[in-house]
Amino acid sequence: MAPRILLARHGQTAWSLSGQHTGRTDIPLLEEGRRGAKLLGERLHHEPWSGLPGVEIRTSPLARAAETCALAGFGERAEPWDALMEFDYGGYEGMTPAQIKEVRPDWFIWRDGVPDGETLAAVSARADEVVAWARSADRDVLVFAHGHILRAIGARWLGEDISFAARIRLDPTSLSVLDWAYGLPAIQVWNDTGHLAP
C-alpha cells in the first residue's frame, strides 16, 4: 500500500473568522470550532474510516490544533510535532490581508513572505519534512494543523513550489486526503467540509 496523508485543519477561532493571520499566537477554538471538531471526529470514526486503526497521528502543539485533535477523539494517539506549527507571520501576526495591503498594496504572502518572520524557504522545508515522514513507511498518517502549513504540505506533496499553495484554499475543520494516481502524488479529496453541513 502506498501511504496516504490525511490533513485536518483546526476548527474555527476568532482570528480565522476575522481573517487575521494567526501564526504562533495560541488562541482557543470558538464554540463553533469545538462543534466542528467533534463532527469531524464522528466522520472519521464511522465508515469508511472506522477510527483509522493503524494510522499514525501527529498534531501541531498549538492549542487550536491540539484541541481539534482531542475533540475529534484522537488526542491519546497523537504525538505533537513542531514541524506542523503554523507559518510564523512575524510583523504581520494578527493582521488581516486588507490591513497589510494598506502599507504594501501589491503584497502576496506566497511570493513576498513576511517581515521578521519565517521565510518561505523555511516553511517549504518544514512541509518537505512532513511529506518525507508521511512517505516513510507502509501506513497512512493523519495530521491536525493549520491553513497555511497544510496548504504548503499539499503543494510539496504534489512536487510543486510552495507558491502553488495559493491555489488550494482550506477552510477551518476541513478534511483533505493526499494519495497517489498512476504512481504519481495526487489529491484524492481537498477542503471537504461535508461533515459540517446541517
Residues with catalytic function = 10, 86
C-alpha to C-alpha distance for 50 and 47, rounded to whole angstroms: 5
Does 22 show up as a binding residue in the annotation? yes
Strands 5-9 and 141-145, sheet pairing: parallel
CA contacts within 13 A on the Cβ side of 180: 10
Distance of alpha carbon 12 from its chain centroid, rounded?
13
In this structure, what C-alpha cell is assigned to residue 30? 470558538
The model carries a pTM of: 0.96
11-66: pLDDT as tens digits: 999 999 999 999 999 999 999 999 999 999 999 999 999 999 999 999 999 999 99
pLDDT at residue number 92: 96
Q: Which CATH superfamily, name and number, covers 5-177?
A: Phosphoglycerate mutase-like (3.40.50.1240)
For the chain, what are the domain ranges? 5-177
Query: Is 23 part of any known ligand binding site?
Result: yes
Q: What is the pLDDT of residues 92-146, one digit of tens each?
A: 999 999 999 999 999 999 999 999 999 999 999 999 999 999 999 899 999 999 9
Specify the residue for cell string 518537505: 128
Q: Tens digits of per-residue pLDDT, 132-186? A: 999 998 999 999 999 999 999 999 999 999 999 999 999 999 999 999 999 999 9
**With 90 as the cut, is the pLDDT of residue 197 above it?**
no
Q: Phi and psi of 141, rounded to 5°? A: -130, 155
pLDDT for 1 equals 56
Q: Is 169 annotated as a binding residue?
A: no
